[in-house]
A and B are shown apart, each in its own frame.
Chain A
Amino acid sequence: MELIQSISLSSSASTILFSSIPNTYSQLYLYASLRNDSTTSSSPALRVALSSTANYDLGYRETGSSSVNEGNYSSKVNWQDMYGGVISEQKPSNSFGAFYMSIHNYAQSVPTTMVAQGTSNASESNPNAGVYGGIIRNTDVQSSINMIVDYGNFKAGCLVALYGA
């Protein structure tokens, strides 16, 4: 595995984008430490889009202190919402959520598969975690990764690194 590129935010940004990803790897690995600048939601959603995800199936399981959500996204739109991975301004202070995404077959003529997981902390006693797995049922080459958060912006200090293998 080798580092392709990384982004370290020195000031806030609404969108983080890796473009022109080389198609010379078999797999991509995205590691991110994320925080947003909004106090609106204690559990911000991270929206991730590959360049071509128009037909995907995504299953998920999300856990919190008092509930578990699980199921499948059926909307099959380009953006995938993932919880656990972004810490909000509510708490804890100055910490960043942990997010990881593995993308396989992104440059081959077979469906792209992916798995992602993230953890954030709605409060000291209420950690959130999400696990996601998906298949993109077209065979397009994925050449970009676009990230936004559902409330506010990514805060300065966020770090996102893209590796290839």
Chain B
Amino acid sequence: MLVVLVTLIILNYVFAENGMHNAVYFIVVVSAIKFIGVVFQFIEAKHAHSAWKALSFVFVAIYLIGVLVLY
């Protein structure tokens, strides 16, 4: 999981620095994946009640939609 997260972080940097078309979508979606990865793997929300899992997805949805709409 750590390798996946670090790879995503580096990919985010490469996309941002190369100024690729529509990079913002990639950057924000990758950040959302990192968020879910940390919540489920590191905090171990994968073992928690489904309400806490759902709450994590609500956070991500608000962030994703908000940032992309306001961009």
Chains A and B come from one and the same complex = no
Interface residues of B (CB under 8 A from A): none
